[in-house]
Amino acid sequence: MASSPEICVFGAGSIGCYVGGRLAATGTAVRFIGRERVVSEVRAHGLHLTDWQDADLKVPASDARIDTEPEALATADLVLVTVKSAATEEAGRTLASRLKPGAIVISFQNGLHNAQVLRGLLPGRTVLTGMVPFNVAAQGQGHFHAGSEGTLEVEQHAVLAPFVEAFNRAGLPLKQHTDIVAVQWAKLLFNLNNSLNALADLPLKQELSQRAWRRCLALAQQEALAVLGRAGVKPAKLTPLPPGWIPLLLGAPDAVFGVLAKKMLAIDPKARSSMWDDLHAGRKTEVDYLNGEVVRLGQQHGVSTPVNSRLVALIREAEEGKRRQWTGEALLAELTKA
């Protein structure tokens, strides 16, 4: 490896442009592979990366190395896979014939099995699971804004050593974990809100400020926690409260929640879930990889999961263009009769 490593982002969208953009803006050699729409946007405007605190970084268009062709994979020391879950298999096939010897891969995706899918297609390679806790919204003209807090997490491994400094410089330190499955499940418990946020058609802050929507999330999480309990999986504690207590907090009246859960509501007022982004753009969502995982694990362990099953069905309906206008109260009634 050259003294300063080269990083390639595969799937230049919200997460890829934000994480890769911050690395590029702070002196790391980063190349991006994405679709034509994003490629022409970044070639025209460069990248502008901001966050909910005071980060404000830029990569001028002349320095933004982005292409639709995957040539950059041949020289990368580290590849960050940031496509949506349904695109992971195709990504793996593209990486397989192009990665240089010794290149490592991190899946910075939601869901549970993306790294496993990549490993299956990349035998002999080191593929690590990563987790992005914060929200990133594409604002247009190459501007990507992180609207909530959190630290990048990744499966602990010695191969990460040459890259640690680059992530530190970017202000995105990598927190390494020995039990990444527990971290993934803890994140998935939060991602059960992605489907609710998409059905609510509201910014996250507004949705989570309403008790009825929070009670829907509490139902989905309680169901998931029961399944995890039966399966013997203990989700990691990513917040001051352990995962088992969060449904209780979610059920609190608005005024109490506003005081006790200040951090949970510290979200950019315009931020929405990545599943809302997908529905809004007419794309298939990741619901099968989120609520669908609860349903599958429930089936394996004989635990019924009517709430998450119903949410999967409602999102599938919305994907097919049969989107209903839900209030939190109406959805809560629908889920409690499930």
Ligand X SMILES: NC(=O)C1=CN([C@@H]2O[C@H](COP(=O)(O)OP(=O)(O)OC[C@H]3O[C@@H](n4cnc5c(N)ncnc54)[C@H](OP(=O)(O)O)[C@@H]3O)[C@@H](O)[C@H]2O)C=CC1
Ligand Y SMILES: CC(C)(CO)C(=O)C(=O)O
Residues that bind ligand Y (CB under 6 A): 110, 134-135, 190-191, 194, 273-274
CB-wise, 85 or 291, nearer to ligand X? Answer: 85
CB-wise, 15 or 216, nearer to ligand X? Answer: 15
CB-wise, 153 or 277, nearer to ligand X? Answer: 277
User: Residue 190 binds what, of ligand Y, ligand X, none (CB under 5 to 8 Å, by partner type)?
Assistant: ligand Y
Count the neighbouring beta carbons within 10 Å of the beta carbon of residue 209: 17
Contact yes or no for 232/226 (Cβ under 8 A): no
For ligand X, the binding residue among 26, 28, 50, 109 (CB under 6 A) is 109
Quick check: 85 binds ligand X (CB under 6 A)?
yes
3-state class (DSSP) for residue 177: strand
CB-wise, 95 or 314, nearer to ligand X? Answer: 95
For ligand X, the binding residue among 90, 165, 254, 317 (CB under 6 A) is 90
Name, in order, each residue with C-beta under 8 angstroms of 208's C-beta and a sequence gap of 6 or more. Answer: 193, 214, 217, 264, 265, 267
> Residue 15 corresponds to which amino acid?
I
Name, in order, each residue with C-beta under 8 angstroms of 35's C-beta and a sequence gap of 6 or more. Answer: 12, 68
User: Residue 144 binds what, of ligand X, ligand Y, none (CB under 5 to 8 Å, by partner type)?
Assistant: none
For ligand X, the binding residue among 153, 286, 307, 314 (CB under 6 A) is 286
* Closest distance to ligand X from the beta carbon of 144 (Å): 9
User: Residue 41 binds what, of ligand Y, ligand X, none (CB under 5 to 8 Å, by partner type)?
Assistant: none
Contact yes or no for 96/120 (Cβ under 8 A): no
* Closest distance to ligand Y from the beta carbon of 20 (Å): 17
CB-wise, 230 or 296, nearer to ligand X? Answer: 296
Alpha helix ranges (H) inside 201-305: 204-208, 211-231, 246-250, 254-260, 274-280, 291-301
Contact stretch for ligand X (CB under 6 A) within 7-15, 160-168, 170-178, 221-229: 7-15
Site string for ligand X, 23-62 (x = CB under 6 A): ----------xxx--x------------------------
* Closest distance to ligand X from the beta carbon of 253 (Å): 28
Name, in order, each residue with C-beta under 8 angstroms of 40's C-beta and a sequence gap of 6 or more. Answer: none
C-alpha–C-alpha distance, residues 195 and 304, integer Å: 19
Number of residues that bind ligand X (CB under 6 A): 26
Quick check: 285 binds ligand X (CB under 6 A)?
no
3-state class (DSSP) for residue 191: helix
β-bridge partners, 49:
57, 144
Looking at beta carbons, which residue is closest to ligand X?
A: 13
User: Residue 83 binds what, of ligand Y, ligand X, none (CB under 5 to 8 Å, by partner type)?
Assistant: ligand X
CB-wise, 104 or 204, nearer to ligand Y? Answer: 204
CB-wise, 93 or 270, nearer to ligand Y? Answer: 270
For ligand X, the binding residue among 7, 8, 72, 91 (CB under 6 A) is 91
Alpha helix ranges (H) inside the chain: 14-25, 36-45, 88-96, 114-121, 161-169, 180-200, 204-208, 211-231, 246-250, 254-260, 274-280, 291-301, 306-319, 328-337
Describe the crossing of helices 328-337 and 180-200 by its angle, rounded to 10 degrees.
120
C-alpha–C-alpha distance, residues 290 and 64, integer Å: 33
User: Residue 11 binds what, of ligand X, ligand Y, none (CB under 5 to 8 Å, by partner type)?
Assistant: ligand X
Interface contacts to ligand X, rule CB under 6 A? 11, 13-16, 33-35, 38, 82-85, 87, 90-91, 94, 109-110, 132, 135-136, 274, 277, 283, 286
